[in-house]
Chains A and B, each alone.
Chain A
C-alpha cells in the first residue's frame, strides 16, 4: 500500500507544477461556458438575429430546455473527453521520454507495473476532475441563463449517462499510453488521439459505431435513441477487451522493452 501511495504522490508532484494541468482546467471550463452562452443566444431570438452567424449556430441546439441542454452537454463531453483525456494520457506517459527522466524511475525498489498503475490512477483522477468541472459549470450556467423545464428525474438520468460515458472514455487511455511508450514521444500518441476521433466519426457513418471502441462512450452518452446505433453486450465486451489488452501491453512494454 505504501508503495502505490508513494508512487501516486510522485505522479501528483509531477502534474501539480505543470502548466498542462492549469491549461486543461481552463479549456474544460471555457467549453461549457461557451455552450451555455450559445444556449442563452438560442433562447433569445432577437439577440440571435443581431449576432448573425453566432445566432445561426446557436439554433443547432434545437429545443432550448433542460432536455436539449443535457443532450448538448453529453455530446460535448463525448467529443472533448476523447481528445482531452487522450492529451492527458499522452502527457503523463510521454513526458517521461521528452524530459528523459524514464531512466530515473525504472531501476528503483518499486515495480514498474506500480508506476504504470499510479500513472493511470492519476490520469483517471485528473480526467474525472475535468469531467466534473464541465458538469458543474455546465449545469450551473444552465441555471444562470434560465433554462426551463427542469426535472430531477431527467437530471439523475443525465448524471448517470454523463459520468458513465466518462468512465467508458477512461477505458481508452491505455492504448494511448502504450503508443506513448512504444514511440518514446509525444507526437505519435497525439496523432493516434486525433486519428481515433476521425475514425469514430467514420465508424458512426458506416453503422459500426457500437463495435468501434472509440465510438462507444459517445453513443452511451447520447443514449440508445439512434436507430442502428444501439449499444449491446458485445459493445461493452469490445471496450473492456481493448482496455485489458492495451493495459497489459503497456505494462509489458515498461517491464520488458529496452529503455535507451
Chain B
C-alpha cells in the first residue's frame, strides 16, 4: 500500500465558518508533505481531524488504510504527532513527562526515554520541571513525545515554532533523515513556504479551508515568476520606447520598470540593444526571481 495518509472530502464547519472544506489529499510512503497556510487557514483543524480529535461534518480520514475513529486505538501505535503549541504536565520533569507517554504507548524498553532525550538534545534538561522549560525546549519535549516510539507516520503541526535557527536546522535534518533513511511518512504544517520548501517533497496550500494547490517541491522554482528589471537615466523615454515596440512593462514601487515577457527574460540582451540603439543609458538590467513567500502570497491572493 503506497498511500499512507488519505483524506476524502474532509469538511468541518463551526457555526457560519468553514474551517475545512472538502479536503482531499493523499500522502505516499516516505513523502514529506508540507501543509502550508496562513494562521486560521484550517491547518490545525485538518490535522486534528486526521488524528481523530475532531469529528468531521463530512468526509473520512484513512491512516495506513484504516479509517480513523476514536475506537481504533491500535492505529496510533505507528503514529507520532504534535499539535499546535506543545504542553506538558508542569510539575513533572521532562523525563517523567516522557515516561508517562512511554507507559501509555506500552513501550517495554525503559531506555527509549533516554534514547529520545538524547536524540532531541534534552539531556541537560531531563530533570527540569516542564513548567521551567523555554519555549524552544518545550517544543523539543513535544517532538520527543511524537518520536519516542519510532513512528512510521509523523503528523506535525508547526514543529519549528519557538525554535532558534540552529534548532530549526537540526529538526529539518532529523525529519529529512527519518523520511529518506527510515521510510517515515511526514505530514508537516507551516505558514512559512521558504522553510517548508527546504525539505518537503510535496506541498499543499490551504486557504480559507480549501486546498487550493498541490505542487511538487521540484516544480516550485519553475512556478515562481521571473522578471526583468530595468533602470535607465531616462525612465520616461524608456517607457515610451517600450510601448512603441509593444513590449509590456510595469512600474514597480522603486520607479524601476519590470518586464514579465519570457522572451526578454531569457534574452535580456535584446532590451539592452534596443535601449543603447536609441541612446538611452542603462544603469541596471537584470533578471530577478520571485521569492517563495511572494509566490505563496500571490497564490492565495489569486483565490480571494
Contacts and interface: CB of A to CB of B under 8 A. Distances in A.
Interface stretch (B23-31, B73-81, B115-123, B171-179): B73-81
B8 interface: no
Interface string A15-56: 001110000000000000000000000000000000000000
A109 B105 contact: yes
A88 to B, nearest CB: 16
A7 to B, nearest CB: 7
Interface string B73-97: 1111101010111011111100010
A112 B52 CA distance: 12
Interface in B53-88: 53-55, 70-71, 73-77, 79, 81, 83-85, 87-88
Contact of A110 (B73, B81, B84, B96): B73
B89 A14 contact: yes
B54, B70, B92, B99: most-surrounded residue (chain A CB, <10 A): B70
A100 B99 CA distance: 18
Contacts of A110: 73, 104, 106
A109 B89 contact: no
B76 A17 contact: no
Contact of A107 (B79, B96, B103): B79
B106 A17 contact: no
Given A107-B76, A255-B70, A6 B54 contact: no
B145 interface: yes
Contacts of A101: 87-89
Contact of B145 (A104, A109, A255): A104
Given A2-B106, A6-B103, A255-B70, A108 B89 contact: no
Interface in A109-139: 109-112
Interface string A249-260: 000000110111
B100 A10 contact: yes
Nearest to A257: B55
A105 B71 CA distance: 14
A222 B250 CA distance: 90
A160 interface: no
A3 interface: yes
A260 B106 CA distance: 25
Interface residues of A, number: 29
Interface string B25-57: 000000000000000000000001001111100
B101 interface: yes
Contact of B91 (A9, A18, A109): A18
A57 interface: no
A182 to B, nearest CB: 16
Contacts of A17: 91-92, 96
B79 to A, nearest CB: 7
A34 B235 CA distance: 93
B103 A9 contact: yes
Contacts of B79: 107
A195 interface: no
A106 B53 contact: yes
B91 A108 contact: no
A106 B48 CA distance: 11
B104 A6 contact: yes
Contact of B53 (A2, A3, A9, A107): A107
Contacts of A103: 48, 53, 83-84
Contacts of B105: 108-109
B54 A259 contact: yes
10 contacts: A2-B106, A3-B106, A6-B106, A14-B89, A17-B91, A18-B91, A19-B91, A99-B90, A106-B53, A109-B77
